[in-house]
Amino acid sequence: MAETKRVADHDTVVKLVGEETCWMVKQRMDKLKDTLYESMSVMPFLLPILFDIHGATTVQELGDLLVVGHLMVGHSTSFGKLMDERILPKVFKTVKFTGAYRAANPPFAKAMFNEIDHLVNRPDGPVLLSLKAGRWTIQLTAAVELNKAFREILKKHSPPYNRIVVGVFAGKPETLTDKYDILRGINRGKKHNVVDLTGNVLVYAGKDFWTWINGGEEATQGWVLDGIIKGLQDANCRKEAAELMKIFKDSFAASYAK
């Protein structure tokens, strides 16, 4: 087996991912505290439907369901930002395509680079990275547009930008939807207006992505998960969160039980 050229070792990944996860969890805790004092939008006609569909036995349980649903979108958004804006640049030394970076570094300010999130500098040359959360992240229209943008980049800026990776945080290659084939120019059944880019555009999902981002180190996904667990332990928020949730559920029950 060829020696890997990993960017970060086990201890570094666990330490830095742990620090960033702890930061994110504390940010979400602040949001949970704010939620207790905000007027969360509640549709009264929907409450009895939710009560039965989700098998709630008390109004407090219904309140738990509502606040989790209310916060879930924020949790998912925060996790995406954690990976994109903090963990990849700080742990794996990618260059994040911020607005300021793009403006200061032509040609990245051009629209064709809008779906590129990071520049990954490798010993054998740069790689452009576009990030996706999971198997369902890309719809058909977006896949076709990605193919068009990638085609334009490769036509006008190759070299040096002749390699593009679409990285999917979680999942397995075999479970990705066909949209990940379409963005590479592979038609399955119905023909779409895409061009074959398979020689220049690769898709890595789940363990394969984390292995790739860390220069071939196959244990990286496990290290990232270890870091997330460490961050949760350091944040030590479970007791406080449970107390806050109880306050909310009691308040909700007092308002809506009747």
Domains within the chain, CATH numbers bracketed: 10-256 (3.40.1560.10)
**155-201 pLDDT, tens per residue?**
999 999 999 999 999 999 999 999 999 999 999 878 899 999 999 99
**32-87 pLDDT, tens per residue?**
887 665 656 778 898 889 989 999 888 888 888 887 887 888 889 999 999 999 99
The encoded tokens of residue 72 equal 């879930």
Query: 106 forms bridges with which residues in the sheet?
Result: none
Mean pLDDT rounded to a whole number for the chain: 91
CA proximity to 146, closest of 112, 177, 110 = 112
Predicted TM-score (pTM) of the model is 0.89
- Output the CA torsion sign for 119, 122, 124, 129: negative
> Phi first, then psi: what are they for 228, rounded to 5°?
-65, -45
